[in-house]
């Protein structure tokens, strides 16, 4: 009887199935990580915008220009050139200065519960006398 030197067809099929299962697990994990990364990216961008607004308000207060804080809501952001509109499935940011609405169209809507657009509204923070004393970003939807 002659000894077989290679893999049998059955052994080869088992190896392929094992590699297929491992590849599937790896791809699922990579997709989950990509979704988590996009959620983190959006949260950080909104937090950075909020921080920038707080710095602008602080600068107005430091200069004694508290009455001009409301004007930060009416003006376009300084040096704002718009957000890039991506092609081929890349995410898109947009800003509507008339309604003061910031919008984001995610690359992976599944990362945000299937939402195809996330929106935030810029609003003033008022004191007891109705004066604008700060700015905030409120999530819409």
Is the confidence at residue 79, as pLDDT, over 60?
no
Confidence of residue 77 (pLDDT cuts 50, 70, 90): low
For 24-49, write each residue's pLDDT tens digit: 999 999 999 999 999 999 999 999 98
Predicted model pTM: 0.72
89 vs 106 pLDDT, higher one: 106
On the question of pLDDT at 85 being above 50, the answer is: no
What is the CA 103 to chain-centroid distance, rounded? 10
Nearest by Cα to 41 from 118, 114, 132, 122 = 118
Give yes or no for a contact between 135 and 122, defined as CB atoms under 8 angstroms apart. Answer: yes
CA 8 from centre of chain:
50
């Amino acid at each position: 009887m002659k000894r077989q030197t290679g893999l049998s067809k059955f052994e080869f099929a088992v190896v392929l199935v094992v590699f297929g299962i491992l590849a599937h697990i790896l791809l699922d994990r990579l997709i989950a990580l990509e979704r988590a990364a996009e959620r983190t990216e959006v949260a950080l961008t909104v937090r950075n915008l909020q921080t920038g607004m707080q710095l602008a308000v602080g600068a107005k207060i430091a200069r004694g220009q508290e009455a001009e804080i409301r004007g930060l809501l009416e003006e376009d952001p300084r040096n704002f050139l718009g957000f890039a509109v991506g092609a081929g499935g890349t995410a898109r940011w947009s800003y509507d200065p008339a309604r003061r609405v910031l919008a984001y169209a995610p690359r992976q809507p599944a990362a945000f519960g299937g939402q195809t657009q996330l929106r935030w509204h810029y609003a003033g923070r008022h004191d007891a006398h109705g004066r604008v004393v700060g700015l905030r970003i409120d999530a819409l939807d």
